[in-house]
Amino acid sequence: MINERQQHILELLEQKGEVQLQQLKDIFSDVSMMTLRRDLINLENEGYLIRTYGGAVSVKKITANSGEEDAYSRRATENVEAKKKIAEKAVKIVEKDRSMFFDSGSTIMCLAEILPDDSYYIVTSGANIALELVKKLRTTVFTLGGLMNRNTLSMSGPNAISSLDTINIDLAFLAASGFSIDKGFTVANMYECELKRKVVEQAKKVILLMDTSKINKDLPFTYATLKDIDMWICEKELPADIAAEAAKYNVMIL
């Protein structure tokens, strides 16, 4: 049975697609956080939502996305401040006169936009990332050919993967659509997963750019785990359990 408070939570989910526990606590100030967690558990058991780290997402929203990443234009407007913070940290890691890989995605775009015009050699799978980088006169840009994903504006597939065999990568800046300790870093597209796996194998150093809103969200395909990366750049501290797991594999958290 769904009580009045839980019905109100469902109405919020209908409007926004997802909710955070802290938001619910602000609305239902006379109810404990534990009670609100139980509300979400009950609604999850009823099939209305899926719980995430610190909140829940509507099943309708997930179904509407059909398991695929949101359209790029929509995702680019989500968690903008977090992505900017990540990009500002990442730009300090970029090195001149080194071969680097820039993944596709809106967080990587934030990095490309603030990258200084200097002597960089950058390989990218993102068509939009390449167009942003070529505005910089001193930066050399290489693109991977292949199948273009309309939702992420990235190039992938067998041709893109095979072309990586001839490219040396010192630093790889990668993105992910989800992460959990059990499943690692995940994406929704199989071809993009294979491409990212190849980059992880080729790169001397792997740097993951992902904000904490994607924690405990598992998509169908895993391309890396914590043991495969060297650094994780995020906008704020990671949850204690994930930070501890990262420490086991000497992953630097920035």
- Give me the CATH number covering residue 33: 1.10.10
Residue with tokens 């993105």: 175
Phi, psi at 218, each rounded to 5°: -105, 125
Matching residue, tokens 């903008």 = 80
pLDDT for 41: 87
Do 155 and 108 fall into the same domain? yes
Question: How many domains, the chain?
Answer: 2
Domain final position from 12, 37, 64: 64
The CA distances from residue 86 to 13, 68, 83, in Å, are: 28, 23, 5
Pair of tokens at residue 249? 């594999």
| Residue 174 shares a structural domain with residue 49 | no
Q: Are 236 and 189 in the same domain?
A: yes
Q: Which structural domain, as residue segments, surrounds residue 11?
A: 4-64
Q: What is the pTM of this model?
A: 0.70
- What contacts 241, CB < 8 A, 6 or more positions away? 181
pLDDT given for residue 161 in this prediction: 87
Query: Under a CB-based contact definition with an 8 Å cutoff, are residues 82 and 235 in contact?
Result: yes
Residue with tokens 């840009």: 141
The confidence score (pLDDT) of residue 172 equals 97
* Closest C-alpha among 246, 190, 174, 254 to residue 222: 190
The amino acid occupying position 49 is L
Q: Are residues 48 and 174 in the same domain?
A: no
- State the pLDDT at residue 60: 64
Distance CA 108, CA 90 (A): 9
Q: Along the 254 residues of the chain, how does pLDDT read in single tens digits?
A: 688 899 899 888 888 788 888 889 999 999 999 999 889 888 887 778 777 767 887 766 554 554 444 455 455 556 678 899 999 999 999 999 999 999 988 899 999 999 999 999 999 998 889 989 999 999 999 998 877 776 677 888 888 888 898 899 999 999 999 999 999 999 988 888 999 999 999 999 999 999 998 999 989 899 999 999 999 999 999 999 999 999 999 999 99
- Do 246 and 182 sit in the same domain of this protein? yes
Distance between CA 162 and CA 185 in Å, rounded? Answer: 22
